[in-house]
Structure 1
Amino acid sequence: MASEDLLQVMDLEPPMGDLSTGNRLDSARSVWTTRRSGEVGMPKKRIVHQRVVRLHGPARLQRIGLRPAPGFHKCGSRLDHDWITAFRVLARVEGRWTEVLSKSGLSRPRTTALRWFRLPGHVVDGVIIELRGCGIDGGWTGWNLATGALVLEGERLAPLGPRFERRLAVTAMTLDQMPRGITARVADGCVRFTTKNFGVGFRLDRPAFSFLGLGSEEPARVATNLLLTNPVKCDQGLQFHGVGEPPRMAPAVRCDQIGSVTVEGPKVTYEVQTGAQRYRMVWTVASAGLSLQVVREGERSEQAWHSAAWTMGFSNAVAASHAVGNVRTDGETGGMSVPVWINAPGFGTWLLTSDDEAAAVRCESRRHDGINLVELKVGERPGREGWHRLVAGRHEATFSLRPVRPPQPLRRGTPAVVRRALERTYYVAPTFRADIGSLSNSGVSMLCPICMDTWSAVLPRLDLRAGQEAGPTGDELMRISIERWLWDGPGYAAGILSRNGRFHAADDEYLMTGAAALRGIGDYLTQAATAGWYREYRQVIRTKIDQARARDLDGDGLIESRYRTGVSGTGQWSTCWADVMSFGWKCAWSNAILHGALRALATGVTRFGDDELGQELETWRKQLHAAYRPAFWNEATGWLAGWRCREDRLHDYAFLPVNGAAIQEGLLDVAEGRAVLRRLLAEAERVGMPDPALGLPLNLWPVPDEDRADILQGYPFGYYQNGGRTHSQSRRLVMALYTVGMQREGDQLLRQLCGGFATASTFGGNQSGVDWRAWDDAPCGYEGLLTDQFGLLEAILWRWAEPAQV
């Protein structure tokens, strides 16, 4: 065959026209890695990205080319072009992985032309290109760079594997003796069981689910399929693609299996042989849940690009599902130890357990494919470079999958709507992604340390273990998220940005990111950190504090952004969470959070005997406190403005969360805080703010185009961040009411906000837009679910939890 770019080779497609699957031989993926020699300033473990070539047979490598490409998209900023500074190429030669090229210290390219590197002319049957360093984000190489910066020239010496699909033989079908509470029927090539709380369907042609419904929160929702299905593509069930060969059990084109399926009452048994691996999988349906017994027998050990004894591929358009568990930091990212909670917001939560050593779980979100994967593995070991080894011999594990309800740590007398709201959001609040090793904006979105103060206000108060001793805790989820930020892991409004060829921390533009992350660290130090953890991270924390201090550009104690000036007409993005509003220079919201962060940090470091740093932080806090009101008080309105721009003008549009945060964090005294809140509530009534069941607007007055980022200009008041309603950041106003003793008003607002949670009408599937609502209730959001929405649990637990839970 002729020389070609092996990263552009398409696999075979089914003969189905517009239902093409887009299969390729190459793939981008992320892996955990440790520091290598010469990698200075890197964490002990971090996530890097690879580009792999899953060859179907031998190929001869020739050369690799590098070029600039889009870097990690931090959102709310320009998409900078990054470049590779360090990489290595691993190739499998005669069954052994060999490093055939390694480069580091590569300079910034002067042009967009490819820079070529000659490769040894080995005959290989698999390639891994691992990006270990890049110009902007250092050691945290990203998916965009891996998919856009590389060309790999070589000559394939073998054709693509042929299309090859076999069906299982149905050897028994008996449904006439079903246990009480379970119904079953056969239709569309599947057998489907329904119970009070869930429904499950099994394909008869291959080992896979056809349907998975959950109605533990709302019985009617049991009829909705949570899985992503497609007539010619099956992302469910048994999957296997060995290194150096065509896929054997793939979503499309190839289903190389021999075996049978039997259905005997509530028991479905698959007996499948695929290559050197033989599986016996027995699913048992009971009214309380499902169990899966897997026996895998391998004639020999095999390396696989992708392997799962059973896959559940959830449609993220139906629900922004996410799995929560203890992360394993080896091999391909996404590995977790059981137990694991699988949350389908609005539908309920599955608890996945196993007591067997051979059992493992891996989870991955593929936003671009509309799917979130939960993979069950048996007798596999993660390879350091990201592949998976199926160990030879007999391996057995039993998994349990059952619907669970969260605890109800609320006092007697809690309003029913509040109790229902907590029930529907308790397990949803930790929006976690194992494949990025962090809490995130949602189970389908990116990590966002700008929300760290929200997480620290809620997650440590939740009992996430549901009686499972080995389960995760809110403090543990906080820890790993904090560590990634401390080591400059990129994310939304986090990491490194560039401007005119010069680099700076994203926190210099998004002041709130640094403030919120420091608040999360302060709370973690105060509540959960060990002395050993503080010793390990003290210097990195100190560096982050010093960087924040350096953002006080005029010495008044408040931090400012030299890049985002807040000047009308500039069309700039924001310094805070409201990213398409032109908050800038002195940001009242970010500085309010920073005030709370300094107080928490001072308490936290003093807990570990760091009295000198604690006093330094307290001195800074007092200075910020003294400067805050004079900087942001608006005499004309009797409340705080949103920002004071570089031209020394106040920008005030009756911002509810800004005033709420300042009052909650103690920047106004109780009497004045109470007066401010009464004025804002009166103004909300005057302008006709709708029922808060679907959320609160950030601002009660329209923000003109000249004070909005370019992307929001031209849209009417009530649309998205310009007056749109959301539960995100609503906790601040409710907590402010409680802070100043306005309990009646706080209770009323909390009950109203809980109405949207109780009906699950304010969070939904990816890109459903229900995370924001116009004043006529029309969706005007984007994600469908935002992690900040569940900050309201702080107010629920503060007001109504049993004393031990507060």
Structure 2
Amino acid sequence: MSQDLLSLADLEPPMGDLFTNRRLDAGRSVWTRPLPGETGVPKKRIIHQRVIRLHGPVRLGRLGVRRGPGYHKCGSRQDLDWVTGLRVLAWSGGRWRVLLQRDALQPGVPGAVAWMRLPRITTTAVIIELRRSGIDGGWTPWNLAMSAFILEGEPLTPLAPRSERLLEPGVISLRNLPVGVRAELVNGEVRYRTRDFEVGFALGRPGFTHWGLQIEDRAQAGRNVLATRPPLFSQGPQLHPLGCAPVLAPAVRCDLSGTVAVNGGTVTYEFQAGGQHYRLAWEVRPTGLRLKAQRVAKQAMLAWHSAAWMIGLRNSAAPSHVLGRLLETGETGAVALPALLTLPTFGSWKVESDSPKGWARSDCFRAHDLNTLELKVGEERTPEGLYRLPAGTHRAMFTFTPQRPAELLAESAPAVARRALARTQWVALTFRTDTATLSNNGASMHCPICMDTWAAVIAPQGNLLPDLPAAEFLRHSLERWLTGGPGYAAGRLLQDGSSHDADDEYLQTGASALRGLGSYLRHHATPAWFREFRPVILEKLRAARDRDLDGDGLIESLHRTGVSGTSQWSTCWFDVISFGWKDAFANAILYGALLELTAGLRRFNELEQAEKLSGWAGWLRANYRDTFYNKATGWLAGWRCREDKLHDYAFLPVNGAAIAEGLLSPDEGRAILQRLLAEARRVGLPDPAGGLPGNLRHIPDHDLSDIIQGYPLGYYQNGGRTHSQTRHFVMALYRCGLNREADRMLKRLCAGFAAAKVFGGNQSGVDWRYWDDRPCGYEGLLTDQFGVLEAICWRWGRPREG
């Protein structure tokens, strides 16, 4: 009987309403190159697949395609995207066979399904590649891949039965522990404790039960960063061969036979599963962990999912991220070792391998509160996104060492600044390996509107590891933006049946990305990199110039007017405030971008372009003050709307950015800052340890989007305290010689970082606070918070060589 194969569910544990949501289909992301005849797409990009991981044969029927939600770029709306290019692969005769390939598909009627016949073959695996979409082109969205397709077919075999097995216990002895290591047996695990970390090992099946790190804060002792919700066990070895049910999976199936032994500080798992023989020996030392991993197989295997060891991390404890050299083939998220695994508020692990056969992969499952780190032994990535496990014996030794960042501050720096930087230096590099870009955090959206912040915090960091400069993560993020990769407030937005650049609405996205690009060109880019991206860089500059709609040097948005009562979203980072038309914040960032780009282009002898940008910067500066200065308050307003009215609520970051970038004279900047400081005292600004408000005066509902209307001053973006975007105000104070005020404020901002009071687990809300210190945020950690590192390193950093 024919049915939608993409709707098939796997078996659930027989334990009530646990909702593990185990499915046969899955969404995945893979690196790809253009196919023959596939034009107008980047030479490398990430696309999304919808795969069906069958337990046995099915007979295929037809493929249905419909419109579906696209990349959710903007909180104010969700665009319906459509498939314009696809490819369907099926496993047949020991190889992938292309069943269907289409390009230039039409959008179709919303709600209607377009059906395409497939060859009536029998197969055990299908990959549907979403290669191009109507809105975002070659960078295809996950949401559309998961909603656009119906795959009809007839299953010929039932689901594989549940099959969970336990290891046989061998010798379990805690005698002869290494000095500095304590251990106990409790609740089916052996738990080790050292001064710097804790780790627990399950005795019934291979995997961690507990993982803690307290190198930053001893109060973290006892806290577990792992995802451990029964009956899901997102830990230890994973194996799902092509064409059959999973062998080792987080639920329902752990079909292995073998033993576990404990000898002092060594835990050894030896077992067979799915034709693989594993020997995994973990050694616990006071200085870290070591895994001697061996995999032996008589025959090669192709697998949907495979890992010698997986660590499932709970993002509500710490939104982790991995910093390593990307391996840009096959399924995304692969990194070479060594790499850094950063757990905000806990610290970082340096992960190493003694062999290239040992590498790692990181992935994010936000809806499941889960990030993963997988260790691979002798596995080969395939272009389709699977893993080939060659026959033979494969070994690698992995080490995990608690790691602290290098000291960047001078010895004379205040202790609170040194501690603040130690706790945030690597946290600030919120990179997602699975999407190849810096993001809100390691389990959140991509946000190129923060490119200027990333450039600022990367500048002083140098190499994180040998041959791994921090600037690599800025490069990856820029390449994604330059080649059309979507993100929050970035990519293409749909209106009246056609799409336009999101930078036309979110003016600050383009300005911030150009600011980051200017910094990269000035300090990091190679001639080869510039040659490769020169055409698209020039196109981005042309598009930015076209946003000056009335020839005054300032950019404007036709789509977001800033008119009171429209409930529109923003043109800048403060996305739920109705900034619009002429945006003082976005234009201040743009001015800095033009100066950086001028210097960067001159470095590559692009003198004509540099001269044009220099002239544009001068014209923007000449008109900026008169456009935004509010005589009634004595400082700059936030925006001038399409009705030519100023909207002014004492915005600290807006005034700070304009002054720090040099749009006002030092004397006038100093006077404005003094007035704002006086206003802060008048309204009773709380301790900056919890951050600064974006605005000192309450914004009425008529200048807010609907989502934030009805709240008091101090809630979220309407005056809530946050470290996000505060760097501008602090840097402005220093620029105007108000060093005492700047030092006092910066030290208190550092205090919030030093105590990890203002960043934490996802959905903790501590990234924003009411004036009485109650959390009122949403993520728990926002990448923009760490822009303060620019001020810390500028004020107290070690002198740079040269």
Bin of the TM-score, shorter chain as denominator length = over 0.9
CA contact (8 A) 1:409 1:805 kept: no
Shift of 1:413: 2.1
- Match in the other structure for 1:208: 207
Shift of 1:631: 0.3
Percent identical: 57
Q: How far, CA to CA, are the matches of 2:378 and 2:588 in structure 1?
A: 51
1:360-399 matches, cutoff 5 A:
360-399=359-398
Q: How far, CA to CA, are the matches of 1:767 and 1:336 in structure 2?
A: 28
Matched, 1:746 2:742: yes
Any idea what SS the aligned residue of 1:419 has?
helix
- Match in the other structure for 2:216: 217
- Is the deviation greater in 532-541 or in 698-707? 532-541
Shift of 1:805: 7.4
Q: How far, CA to CA, are the matches of 2:274 and 2:116 in structure 1?
A: 37
Structure 2: gaps of 5 or more residues: none
Q: How far, CA to CA, are the matches of 1:510 and 1:96 in structure 2?
A: 46
> Residues 805 and 193 from structure 1, CA distance in 2 versus in 1: closer, same or farther, beyond 3 angstroms?
farther
Q: Deviations over 1:95-136 (max 9, x none)?
A: 221011111110111242111000001100000000001110
Q: How far, CA to CA, are the matches of 2:581 and 2:229 in structure 1?
A: 50
- Match in the other structure for 2:544: 548
- Match in the other structure for 1:469: 466
Matched, 1:529 2:525: yes
CA contact (8 A) 1:771 1:784 kept: yes
- Match in the other structure for 2:565: 569
- Match in the other structure for 1:657: 653
In structure 1, what residue type is equivalent to 2:400? L
Matched, 1:721 2:720: no
Any idea what SS the aligned residue of 1:126 has?
strand
- Match in the other structure for 1:230: 229
- Match in the other structure for 1:648: 644
Any idea what SS the aligned residue of 1:622 has?
helix
Q: Deviations over 1:621-679 (max 9, x none)?
A: 00000010010000111110000000000000000000000000000000000111100
Q: How far, CA to CA, are the matches of 2:356 and 2:406 in structure 1?
A: 28
- Match in the other structure for 2:341: 342
Q: Deviations over 1:475-532 (max 9, x none)?
A: 1111111011001100010000011212110000000000000011100010011111
Q: How far, CA to CA, are the matches of 2:61 and 2:211 in structure 1?
A: 47
Q: Deviations over 1:309-352 (max 9, x none)?
A: 00011000101111111111100000111111111100100110
Q: How far, CA to CA, are the matches of 2:411 and 2:279 in structure 1?
A: 49
In structure 2, what residue type is equivalent to 1:469? P
CA contact (8 A) 2:453 2:787 kept: yes
Any idea what SS the aligned residue of 1:125 has?
strand
Q: Deviations over 1:681-726 (max 9, x none)?
A: 0100000011010100000000000000111111111100000000
Q: Deviations over 1:260-286 (max 9, x none)?
A: 010000000010100210000010000
> Structure 2 residue aligned with 1:759, among 755, 758, 765?
755
CA contact (8 A) 2:363 2:434 kept: yes
In structure 2, what residue type is equivalent to 1:303? L
Any idea what SS the aligned residue of 1:605 has?
helix
Any idea what SS the aligned residue of 1:237 has?
strand
Any idea what SS the aligned residue of 1:238 has?
strand
Q: Deviations over 1:67-90 (max 9, x none)?
A: 100000013331100010010110
- Match in the other structure for 2:793: 797
- Match in the other structure for 1:626: 622
Matched, 1:785 2:784: no
- Is the deviation greater in 734-743 or in 31-40? 31-40
Q: How far, CA to CA, are the matches of 2:597 and 2:19 in structure 1?
A: 54
CA contact (8 A) 2:42 2:138 kept: no
Q: How far, CA to CA, are the matches of 2:562 and 2:801 in structure 1?
A: 41
Shift of 1:19: 1.8
Q: Deviations over 1:718-771 (max 9, x none)?
A: 100000000000111110011111111110000011111010010011111100
Q: How far, CA to CA, are the matches of 1:686 and 1:116 in structure 2?
A: 66
In structure 1, what residue type is equivalent to 2:353? S
- Match in the other structure for 1:135: 134
Structure 1: gaps of 5 or more residues: none
Q: Deviations over 1:439-490 (max 9, x none)?
A: 111001011110000011111311452xx424x2221111111011001100
1:624-703 matches, cutoff 5 A:
624-703=620-699
1:53-64 matches, cutoff 5 A:
53-64=52-63
- Match in the other structure for 1:77: 76
Matched, 1:589 2:585: yes
Q: How far, CA to CA, are the matches of 1:571 and 1:77 in structure 2?
A: 10
Q: How far, CA to CA, are the matches of 1:108 and 1:690 in structure 2?
A: 53
- Match in the other structure for 1:704: 700
1:462-541 matches, cutoff 5 A:
462-465=461-464, 468-470=465-467, 472-541=468-537
Shift of 1:567: 0.1
Q: How far, CA to CA, are the matches of 1:303 and 1:345 in structure 2?
A: 36
CA contact (8 A) 1:797 1:805 kept: no
Q: Deviations over 1:599-620 (max 9, x none)?
A: 0001100111110000000010
The normalised TM-score by structure 2 is 0.99
Q: How far, CA to CA, are the matches of 2:318 and 2:408 in structure 1?
A: 26
Shift of 1:41: 2.4
CA contact (8 A) 2:504 2:559 kept: yes
Q: How far, CA to CA, are the matches of 2:76 and 2:37 in structure 1?
A: 31
- Match in the other structure for 2:309: 310
CA contact (8 A) 2:408 2:461 kept: no
Q: How far, CA to CA, are the matches of 1:357 and 1:785 in structure 2?
A: 34
Shift of 1:220: 2.2
Q: Deviations over 1:235-281 (max 9, x none)?
A: 10000000100100010001010100100000000101002100000
Any idea what SS the aligned residue of 2:623 has?
helix
Any idea what SS the aligned residue of 2:236 has?
coil
Aligned residues: 802
CA contact (8 A) 1:427 1:464 kept: no
- Match in the other structure for 1:598: 594
CA contact (8 A) 2:189 2:200 kept: yes
Q: How far, CA to CA, are the matches of 2:229 and 2:388 in structure 1?
A: 29
In structure 1, what residue type is equivalent to 2:690? L
CA contact (8 A) 2:408 2:460 kept: no
Any idea what SS the aligned residue of 2:211 has?
strand
CA contact (8 A) 1:74 1:491 kept: yes
Any idea what SS the aligned residue of 2:37 has?
coil
Shift of 1:553: 0.3
CA contact (8 A) 1:94 1:124 kept: no
Shift of 1:181: 1.2
Q: How far, CA to CA, are the matches of 2:110 and 2:653 in structure 1?
A: 46
Matched, 1:280 2:276: no
> Residues 463 and 196 from structure 1, CA distance in 2 versus in 1: closer, same or farther, beyond 3 angstroms?
farther
Q: How far, CA to CA, are the matches of 1:805 and 1:672 in structure 2?
A: 34
- Match in the other structure for 2:459: 460
- Match in the other structure for 2:439: 440
